[in-house]
Chain A
Amino acid sequence: MSRLQKLVLGRLFLGILTLFIVSALMFIGIELLPGDLAQQILGQSATPETVAAFRAELGLDQPPYVRYLDWLGGVFRGDFGTSLASRRSVADLLGTRLANTMFLAVYAAVIAVPIALTLGLLAALWRNTAFDRGVNLGALSAISMPEFFVAYVLILFLSIRFGLFPTLARIDEASSLGDALYRTFLPALTLILVVVAHMMRMTRAAIINVLAAPYIEMARLKGVPRWRIIVRHALPNALAPIVNVVALNLAYLIVGVVVVEVVFSYPGLGQLLVDAVSSRDFPVVQAVGLFFAAVYITLNVLADVISMISNPRLRHGR
């Protein structure tokens, strides 16, 4: 087995291990919450008999590790338990919400990543010019404002003043793709503004860092044009940090959208999580939490693997 394969498998193994640890931590966290779950759900007026029956139904009379293993076993079969609030299966609840969140994330990512990389490359190419300063200023302003503020500013201007886009991003299965893209434009734009700055600045910094290398001077002295120096000589060697920051931001688009979803009352996972927390719907909280962790870990492992593959020393041994 080559060194690269070993490293990649090692990263995958670590990723899976992390996921298990996170699932256990979440379970313990919920366990540590004060008060008796059954009592709280049924209210103070419930008789001890009803509470005991409810406990048995939820499996709360079992010791914690049995319940954890039960739950974990269920997760492997695709069964995330039953929502305490709606009595529907958690998997069902998650289904549509998950699709909505992914839709918004992909929508934002498809626009944000190319824009960020292009702006970053151009800023590096024309560094210390008016273009570079302008892009940096814009990026810093966008990143300095909290996302809910950006969202409200966008609503104020694009929706209320000019009436270009709807304030609320309500979509359902009936909406056509075009309609859905139109309705979710404002939340997507908010997310784009928040993530572009980070990726663009890292791209610029990574490229500029590589531009100081002797092989860049060598390429210039071979008569290689500037754009080709950036794309062919600098970018491949700057890939590792760029891929990592892109992965972090993609993860954010899925995991960090809670606030944006709430502002636009978009029916995504973030909304579901907020509702579930306020109604103490723990199976839902657990499932969403596990999903978020899985997304985060997967994207980061992916970024690590791409960084490793982009390193010629690892890809081609001695």
Chain B
Amino acid sequence: MGNLLTIRDLRLEAGDRRDPVVILKGINLDLDRGEVLGLVGESGAGKSSAGLAAMGFARDGVRFAGGSVTFDDTELLGLSRGELRKLHGKRIAYVAQSAAASFNPSMKLIDQYSEAPRLHGVASRAEAEKDAIALYRQMQLPDPEEIGFRYPHQVSGGQLQRAMTAMAMACRPDLIIFDEPTTALDVTTQIEVLGAIRDIVDQYDTAAIYITHDLAVVSQMADRICVMKDGEEVETATTREMLDNPQQDYTRSLWAVRSFRRPAEETKASETLIRGQGVTAGYGKATVLHDLDFTIPRGRTTAVVGESGSGKSTLARVLAGLLPPEAGEILWRDAPLEPRLEKRDARTLRNIQMIYQSADTSLNPRHTIRETLSRPVTKFTGRRGRKLRARVAELMELVDLDPAFLDRKPGELSGGQKQRVGIARALAAEPEFIVCDEVTSALDQLVAEGILKLLVRLQHDLGLTFLFITHDLATVEAIAHKVIVLKNGRIVEQDDRDAIFGDPQETYTKRLLESVPQMDPDWLTAARERERELRRREAS
């Protein structure tokens, strides 16, 4: 009788058998009953593959190349499909990253809940439904009696994620694999889901493997943490030890990212570049932005923060001229800015550029980097021939890319390199103002840090004004001068970064800031206590 789960020298590979892509290079993991192990690493580290392998499962095209996975004294590798099926859902369950995509859209939640208990002969349909309602209540879902009879699209993302955790609990498994369960959620929703997951795992003494790239989140959930990189284990230690005293350089570099701050500089008042007055905008009948008054100082970074649906990206579209406002106006250096993109003159077009979240989809995959950069250079500055080539090479140097990349296509570049090309393309127009829409959200922390440092340097050297749209408050604290807090299309608060982070005036801002997970294992408990206190005070 040993551990609940023992993984030894587990190797996974994919692709051609003679020249395979190695995904896991010999992983060792141990898990006791009731223990929560955090698996941390950047994308491509093999965390998800390791999590699935703990279930004896490999995605299509991926195969086990060696090692062993022992669950409760049973070797999982080499078990038949039927034997594995008896364990899956019953003794080992899985919670996926995107609840919205992982629920069958044409089945009611409760039918999907009862499926595993019925198939495994654990409960009848009626028993399973009764149990589901009880668990929904425990997970603090609204309307627990009724919510299960809805279809996935009728339920919000945070609620779906809790419903999925309840579903994983349906047969009271010994082990649950959580694969980035809160990555797609807003911070204020995340805190509720984290709390609910932790409570239920504690209550039933379920062991769990918690996979995430977010160190602060994992330090709330895990008893021990295993850091992975490129399919290998970097180090494993208890959560406190790992936070206080990481042994490996790689772990330390992951930890250090979160402490990046723009270098201190003189805070002399800056003139206003853009001023919005009573800006109201929306799509059809739905008004998204309500009567916004705001200013964007020149040569500074103004961050727009808010949860999904707060209107951040709509504001970017209004400034870029993609969505003319229904009311109000925007002033550029005190002169009205033409609301429609098609009617803006060449100078205005040149002055306002955008960088997008997904460099993957915003770069034409069939154009070489040279083509992507040359077009805006020629269009906006009229350079051709040798001058064009020189300018394009200069742009590459500005964003720290090797000019040798110029004749490659986006597919041959990494995510961070592609985002640098996106930045170079915006710089090609030699703009004054750049809207950055969640430019680091899709990137790993170390890569994201590089992009932020680049943006800070470019601002310093070229005097650029940034509007930085993000839901990641750590990023805001790192690089913003000014912060605009949006909620439901209205401005809650706008002020200097230090004022917002040091002394927030509005309850919502406070709640938002307190929802950002901290690298302190006690943070979640304390934050939930504060949240309850806040609710109590609001109620009275």
Contact = CB atoms under 8 A, between A and B. Distances in A.
Contacts of A237: 104-106
B87 A223 contact: yes
Interface string A220-259: 1111111010001100110000000000000000000000
B104 A219 contact: yes
A233 B85 CA distance: 16
A312 interface: yes
Interface stretch (B34-42, B92-100, B324-332, B365-373): B92-100
A218 B88 contact: no
Nearest to A233: B104
Interface stretch (A96-104, A209-217, A275-283): A209-217
Contacts of A221: 52, 55, 57, 88-89, 93-94
Interface residues of A, number: 23
A312 B106 contact: yes
B102 A222 contact: no
Interface stretch (B113-121, B428-436, B517-525): B113-121
A310 interface: yes
Interface residues of B, number: 32
Interface in A79-116: none
Nearest to A310: B106
B88 A223 contact: yes
A161 interface: no
Interface residue SS majority, chain A: helix
Given A312-B151, A316-B154, A218 B96 contact: yes
Contacts of B103: 215, 218
A6 to B, nearest CB: 16
A143 B96 CA distance: 42
Contacts of B52: 221
Contacts of B150: 316
Interface string A298-313: 0000000000001011
A222 B116 contact: yes
Contacts, number: 79
A220 B167 CA distance: 14
B252 interface: no
Given A214-B96, A220-B57, A316-B154, A225 B85 contact: yes
A313 B119 contact: no
Contact of A214 (B57, B102, B119): B102
Given A221-B89, A312-B151, A215 B120 contact: no
Contact of A312 (B85, B96, B105, B115): B105
Interface in A180-236: 213-215, 217-226, 228, 232-233, 236
A218 B94 contact: yes
B97 to A, nearest CB: 8
A227 B101 CA distance: 21
B102 A218 contact: yes
B153 interface: yes
Nearest to A235: B106
B1 to A, nearest CB: 25
Contacts of B85: 223-225
Contacts of A316: 150-151, 153-154
24 contacts: A213-B101, A214-B102, A215-B101, A217-B96, A218-B96, A219-B115, A220-B57, A221-B57, A221-B88, A221-B89, A221-B93, A222-B89, A222-B94, A223-B90, A223-B116, A223-B120, A224-B85, A225-B119, A228-B119, A237-B106, A310-B106, A312-B106, A312-B151, A313-B153
Interface of B: 52, 55, 57, 59, 81, 84-90, 93-94, 96, 98, 101-107, 115-116, 119-120, 150-151, 153-154, 167
Interface of A: 213-215, 217-226, 228, 232-233, 236-237, 310, 312-313, 316, 318
In order of increasing CB-CB distance, the 4 nearest A-B pairs are A222-B89, A223-B89, A223-B88, A221-B94
